[in-house]
Amino acid sequence: MDQFERLSQLPLRDDLRGQHPYGAPQLDVPILLNVNENTFGLPLDAKEAILKAVADELDGLNRYPDREFTELRRALAAYLGHGLTDANIWAANGSNEVLQQLLQAFGGPGRSAMGFPPTYSMYPLLASGTGTAYVAGVRGDDYGLTAESAAQQVRAQAPNVVFLCSPNNPTGTALGLDVVEAVYDAGEASQAIVIVDEAYAEFAHAGTGSALTLLEGRPRLVVSRTMSKAFALAGARVGYLASAPEVTDAIRLVRLPYHLSAITQATAVAALRNSDALLANVEAIKVQRDRIVAELEQMGLRPAPSDSNFVFFGGLEDPVSVWEKLLADGVLIRDVGISGHLRVTAGTEAETGAFLDGLRSILAK
Ligand SMILES: Cc1ncc(COP(=O)(O)O)c(C=O)c1O
């Protein structure tokens, strides 16, 4: 009996029947460049600080953690700057949970959320899980999104929530702040919550603006961030947002009590105290990212401009076969299901070299 047959025997919600769960492969291969993790390990100082912070929590582990995770919100506000305080910050178990909580509060049955594919594959899944209708907008040539086009589509669809992913996953390219401003204004009529997902913001090229600069005076704007990427803490599950305090109050209505464990809070606070050490590899990753773009161009492929820690590239005749051959060489990258394209995470110099050498020899055959 396959999974669908087994599920068909359960009284599952009708809208979940036939759906597939999120499923980036988790394979045991030497070089993992498929889910945009930070492939550098944590520096020793940071590891020791986290270990001590977690050990200090053990005595109080019989008690529930601080439901308001106040120390963590303060530390995140200080990290972000822009005059933000703990009242502007919310955090959860990964930015996926932050986004889910936003949909629980502002989406739901009878409401809609809009995204602009190709974009982060979890947006429609989070919408589906919260009973929110998902509206797929369209992008222009080369997957770009202009302010005029995005605003016109938001005006036409009048969604309750808009996802703008910048830098966008899977294309890697950041949006101009003019797009965020135009979408925010276009969402006035439907009072849309505009979420700018900046999971990869720390990897952006110098001069790329953050929507954090637009928060002042925009109570429906939310900027989502994560410690999974630049901070190399994907396994700790810490995502967060910055917004007007009213938005965080709305999320308090839907969050589970004590959703951030004491261990998670201690880990994240210790990591933020060591942010210089943890973020030290961001520049090295950007170098590898730019190297991938340059070398893929030399191979005659078409990499998209990237402000993130990954590169989306086109020009492949048979991406599935290239993906399989790289995997056979021990290099796992991502087939995002877009014709002629694949996506690769920038790793260490050695990992990136293994990917580039492998690809070069596959294309030469
Ligand atoms: C654009 C984007 N947003 C959010 C996430 C979720 O990250 P996390 O839940 O680890 O914070 C990811 C993860 O790959 C992502 O690519």
- Span from the CA of 5 to the centroid of ligand 1 (angstroms): 31
The pLDDT tens digits for 12-47 are 998 888 888 877 778 899 999 999 999 999 999 999
Q: Which domains does the chain have, with CATH numbers?
A: 24-42+280-364 (3.90.1150.10), 44-273 (3.40.640.10)
- Which of 226, 229, 240 should be mutated for ligand 1, with most atoms under 8 A from CB? 226
- Residue 170: closest CA among 341, 43, 365: 341
Q: Are 301 and 316 in contact (CB under 8 A)?
A: yes
- Span from the CA of 225 to the centroid of ligand 1 (angstroms): 8
Share of the chain above pLDDT 90, in %: 93
Of all protein residues, the one whose alpha carbon is nearest to atom 12 of ligand 1 is: 199
Question: Does residue 1 carry a pLDDT above 80?
Answer: no
CA 68 – CA 242 distance, rounded (Å): 15
Q: Are 72 and 260 in contact (CB under 8 A)?
A: yes
Number of the ligand 1 atom closest to the C-alpha atom of 228: 10
- Span from the CA of 96 to the centroid of ligand 1 (angstroms): 6
Q: Which two tokens stand for residue 53?
A: 């912070």
The pLDDT tens digits for 85-121 are 999 999 999 999 999 999 999 999 999 999 999 999 9
CA 165 – CA 119 distance, rounded (Å): 7
Q: Which two tokens stand for residue 172?
A: 């890697």
- Cα distances (angstroms) measured from residue 64 to each of 45, 67, 87, 308: 28, 8, 22, 37
Of all protein residues, the one whose alpha carbon is nearest to atom 7 of ligand 1 is: 95
The pLDDT tens digits for 158-173 are 999 999 999 999 999 9
Of all protein residues, the one whose alpha carbon is nearest to atom 9 of ligand 1 is: 94
The pLDDT tens digits for 304-331 are 999 999 999 999 999 999 999 999 999 9
- Name 239's bridge partners: 92, 226
Q: Which two tokens stand for residue 163?
A: 């996802």
Rounded to a whole number of angstroms, the CA Rg of the chain reads 21
Q: Are 84 and 77 in contact (CB under 8 A)?
A: yes
Q: Are 139 and 116 in contact (CB under 8 A)?
A: yes
SS3 of residue 225 by DSSP: strand
CA 135 – CA 153 distance, rounded (Å): 10
- Which of 96, 101, 309 should be mutated for ligand 1, with most atoms under 8 A from CB? 96
- Span from the CA of 201 to the centroid of ligand 1 (angstroms): 11
Of all protein residues, the one whose alpha carbon is nearest to atom 2 of ligand 1 is: 199
Share of the chain above pLDDT 70, in %: 100
- Span from the CA of 155 to the centroid of ligand 1 (angstroms): 27
Report phi then psi at 344, rounded to 5.
-135, 140
Q: Are 133 and 113 in contact (CB under 8 A)?
A: yes
Number of the ligand 1 atom closest to the C-alpha atom of 226: 11
Q: Given its phi and psi angles, is residue 57 left (phi above 0), alpha (psi -120 to 50 degrees) or beta?
A: alpha
- Span from the CA of 121 to the centroid of ligand 1 (angstroms): 10
Question: Does residue 182 carry a pLDDT above 80?
Answer: yes
In terms of C-beta density within 10 A (0-12 exposed, 13-18 middle, 19 or more buried), how is residue 318 classed?
exposed
CA 208 – CA 174 distance, rounded (Å): 7
Packing angle, helices 94-106 and 122-129, rounded to 10: 50
- Span from the CA of 135 to the centroid of ligand 1 (angstroms): 20
> In whole numbers, what is the pLDDT of the chain averaged over residues?
96
CB of 231 within 6 A of ligand 1: the answer is no
CB of 107 within 6 A of ligand 1: the answer is no
Predicted pLDDT at 214: 98
